[in-house]
Structure 1
Amino acid sequence: MPNFLIRYVHFVEKWNERIGRVAMYLLFALMAVLLWGAISRAAWHPQIWTDEMGQFLLAGYFMLGGAYALQMGSAVRMDVFYSSWSTRTKAMVDAVTIFALLFYLGVLLWGGVESTAYALEYGERKSGMWRPYMAPVKMVMCFGILMMLAQCSAFFLRDVAKLRGQEI
């Protein structure tokens, strides 16, 4: 395996780990916003921004943590046959089936980019009382999908290296 591909795999995995660990802290921000919303509803006039901000933080948490979850093996996998296969067979099956995930993520990114461009061009806002702009959360969504695409490509390169008898 060429050195630049090995460096690419290491870079992607290190980058996704760092972003994923930072994204974990969005859960605390989400809890703080939702707690503030609950307290404000009970004690005085409810804040109109807390529900939508909670939705945006959850979307960021989910999208930015997706590549890290893939990297850590947290994704659901059908282990009926997979767990009994050899490492080489697993690598071969993963190297073939990753293209379905890459296709799905590519279509998702295409739709996300178009939706983000629309939000930027027309100043799209979420319906409701607070009416926040949608472009920032859509940009985070596109970035998260890009990170997942990069992680999947790193998986593919690892699988190809395993098939060639190398470890990255």
Structure 2
Amino acid sequence: MALWDRIKESAASMQSQLNSKKNELKSGGFRDASMAMCALVAAADGSIDYSERQRVSSLIATNDVLQNFPADDLQRRFDDNCQKLTADYQLNKVTLMQVIGKLQKKPVEARAVIQIGIVIGGADGNFDADERAVVKEACFALGIPPHEFDL
């Protein structure tokens, strides 16, 4: 199986797992951590270009699990996180990882945030090394072994 197909299959599998837990994923902490993860994946290479930002915004708006929250609220939170990363990537990357880390004692939500990172990163069929690294870092922030997600 080609790498491209495995990435698409993995992203689809993660989305399916997320959908099965949709009713458990309604907390503000999950919302905030998900938007932090989306911004971190979008900025994984250290910058966020307009097309990447638009692509991630579109994925956020159409993700079934994230539809538990108002779309305009998610968009505002994602945009705010992107602005922070653009202003000072290193400092605000740490801040956003801390937001994600707050879910450490909520395993269902913590794993769902990692799955969202994988879905967002792999949506274009190219879950690149920078995106994998930032999702792996989020695993460490949550106390989840990265190998659980083949990272």
TM-score by length of structure 2 reads 0.28
The structure with the larger Rg is 1
